[in-house]
Structure 1
Amino acid sequence: MNRYMEIFLDLEQAILDRKYKPGEKLLSENKLSQIYGVSRETIRKALLLLSEKGYIHKQQGKGSVVLDTAKMDFPISGLTSYKEIFEESGISNRTRVVSLEKTTHYENMTHDMFPFNDEELWVLVRQREIAGEVVLLDKDYLLAEMIPELTKETAEDSIYEYFEKDLGLDISFAQKEFTVEPTTEEDRRYIDLLPNDTHVVVVRSQVFLQNAQLFQYTESRHRLDKFKFVEFARRKKQLHT
Structure 2
Amino acid sequence: MIIVKGMENMSRFQDIFLDIESDILNQQYKPGELLPSENQLSIKYNVSRETIRKALSLLLESGYIQKKQGKGSIVLDVKRFDFPISGLTSYKELQDAQNMSSETILVENKKMTIPEHIANFLKVSHDTEVHCVIRARKVDGEVVILDKDYLFTSIIESIPDDEARHSLYHYIENKLGLVIGFARKEFIAEPATQEDRELMTLHNDTHVVVTRSEVHLEDATLFQYTESRHRLDRFRFVEFARRRGPVSYD
**TM over 0.5, yes or no?**
yes
Please state whether the residue corresponding to 1:188 is helix, strand or coil: helix
- Counterpart pick for 2:184 among 175, 180, 187: 175
Instruction: Output aligned runs, 1:1-241, within 5 Å.
Output: 15=27, 20-24=29-33, 68-104=77-113, 106-107=115-116, 109=118, 112-113=121-122, 115=124, 117-195=126-204, 197-237=205-245, 238-239=247-248
Please state whether the residue corresponding to 1:79 is helix, strand or coil: coil
Distance 1:125 1:228 in 2: 22
Instruction: Count the aligned residue pairs.
Output: 213
Conserved? CA contact 1:12–1:55, under 8 Å:
no
Conserved? CA contact 2:147–2:227, under 8 Å:
yes
Aligned residues: CA RMSD: 3.4
Please state whether the residue corresponding to 1:87 is helix, strand or coil: helix
Conserved? CA contact 1:74–1:229, under 8 Å:
yes
Conserved? CA contact 1:114–1:217, under 8 Å:
no
Distance 2:124 2:98 in 1: 33
Residue 160 of structure 1: how far off its partner (Å): 0.4
% same residue: 48
Distance 1:121 1:71 in 2: 32
Distance 2:146 2:84 in 1: 18
Distance 2:236 2:100 in 1: 15
Please state whether the residue corresponding to 1:202 is helix, strand or coil: strand
Please state whether the residue corresponding to 2:121 is helix, strand or coil: coil
Please state whether the residue corresponding to 2:110 is helix, strand or coil: strand
Q: Which position in structure 1 is the counterpart of 2:6?
A: none
Residue 65 of structure 1: how far off its partner (Å): 7.4
5+ residue gaps in structure 1?
Answer: 1-9, 32-38, 42-50
Distance 1:55 1:205 in 2: 30
1:232 maps to amino acid: F
Residue 71 of structure 1: how far off its partner (Å): 1.0
Please state whether the residue corresponding to 2:203 is helix, strand or coil: coil
Residue 227 to residue 151, structure 1, CA distance change in 2 (3 Å): same
| Partner deviation per Cα, 1:78-119 (whole Å, 9 max, x = no partner) | 001101111011121111111110122534546634645312
Residue 105 to residue 142, structure 1, CA distance change in 2 (3 Å): closer
Distance 2:78 2:237 in 1: 15
Conserved? CA contact 1:56–1:64, under 8 Å:
no
State the TM-score, normalized to the length of structure 1.
0.73
Residue 152 of structure 1: how far off its partner (Å): 1.5
2:98 maps to amino acid: S
Conserved? CA contact 2:24–2:30, under 8 Å:
no
1:153 maps to amino acid: D
5+ residue gaps in structure 2?
Answer: 1-21, 47-58
Residue 66 of structure 1: how far off its partner (Å): 5.6
Residue 109 to residue 174, structure 1, CA distance change in 2 (3 Å): closer
